[in-house]
């Protein structure tokens, strides 16, 4: 049986790296995309040392750039690499007041978390639907279910990812293709430091989940064709409670939790 190929963005660190390890352990070929070339090479060497029956393609790209998604698609076309699993994992955040956050950072967040993710779906989904096989997983967050003072743009981008994914799953499912919105909570990765989230009250009181355990849950959700998957019982309770809480209170409580 022909090996399947997984394209993973943000594959050099955190959950993305764990997705790569999981797919490699299943015998899947990999296309790993990130801007950290050195770390991608280290990961490639690690995986090739453990799994000698897979092929690994590295694409060093800054996915905040508007042309990056098309470049990824075109390069894979040139190499005749078919993508069976698209995992849109790359994303950035920023903790702090909206008015104090540099516009350059917010713009990058919007471009990466929403624009490039959407573009990659738009590029790869039609071919999957034509073949009547394929799976997409877009990494959202439990942040998607509420407004988020102190991380206003990040929460908004993840809400976009959730709703986009649910809609695309509905449109594609008759073809046999599924789109999963995976919604983890705080996870022990570089994201916490990069986004300055260690300053939030929430993170000071929360023990982040293991990146491997979270990635494994996401992989299983995608393979089960779940439309929306929330990792962890506490996170599910949080999301459920938001739905039951009067809307005018949700944003106030969110701000109090964040600090």
Q: d(Cα 137, Cα 89) in Å, to the nearest integer?
A: 8
Q: d(Cα 67, Cα 62) in Å, to the nearest integer?
A: 10
User: What's phi and psi for 85, nearest 5 deg?
Assistant: -125, 125
Name the helix (H) or strand (E) containing 160. Answer: helix 152-172
Active site residue 85: no
Residue 252 and residue 142 in contact, taking contact as beta carbons nearer than 8 Å: no
Q: d(Cα 132, Cα 172) in Å, to the nearest integer?
A: 9
Q: d(Cα 86, Cα 136) in Å, to the nearest integer?
A: 5
Active-site hit among 51, 85, 154, 160: 154
Neighbours of 78 (CB within 10 A): 8
Q: Which residue has the tokens 């996401």?
A: 218
User: What's phi and psi for 104, nearest 5 deg?
Assistant: -60, -40
Going across the sheet that includes 5-9, the strands are 56-60, 29-34, 5-9, 85-88, 135-139, 178-183, 228-230
Q: Tokens in use for 188?
A: 């022990």
Q: Which of 1, 11, 66 is nearest to 33 (CA)?
A: 11
Active site residues: 154
């Amino acid at each position: 049986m022909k090996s399947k190929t997984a394209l993973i963005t943000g594959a050099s660190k955190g959950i993305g790296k764990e997705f790569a390890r999981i797919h490699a352990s299943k015998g899947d070929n990999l296309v790993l995309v990130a801007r950290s070339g050195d770390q991608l090479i280290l990961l490639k060497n690690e995986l090739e040392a453990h799994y000698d029956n897979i092929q690994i393609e590295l694409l060093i790209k800054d996915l905040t750039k508007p042309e990056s998604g098309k470049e990824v698609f075109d390069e894979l076309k040139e190499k005749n690499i078919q993508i069976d699993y698209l995992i849109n994992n790359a994303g950035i955040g920023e903790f702090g007041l909206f008015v104090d956050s540099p516009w350059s950072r917010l713009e990058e967040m919007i471009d990466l978390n929403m624009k490039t993710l959407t573009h990659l779906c738009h590029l790869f989904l039609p071919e999957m639907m034509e073949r009547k096989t394929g799976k997409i997983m877009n990494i959202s967050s439990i942040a998607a279910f509420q407004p988020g003072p102190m991380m206003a743009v990040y929460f908004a981008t993840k809400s976009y990812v959730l709703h986009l994914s649910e809609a695309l799953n509905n449109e594609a499912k008759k073809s046999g293709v599924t789109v999963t919105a995976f919604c983890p909570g705080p996870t022990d990765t570089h994201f916490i430091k990069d986004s300055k989230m260690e300053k939030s009250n929430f993170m000071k009181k929360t023990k982040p989940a293991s990146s491997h355990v979270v990635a494994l849950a996401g992989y299983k959700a995608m393979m089960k064709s779940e439309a929306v998957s929330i990792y962890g019982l506490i996170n599910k309770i949080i999301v459920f409670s938001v739905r039951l809480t009067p809307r005018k209170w949700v944003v106030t409580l969110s701000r109090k939790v964040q600090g």
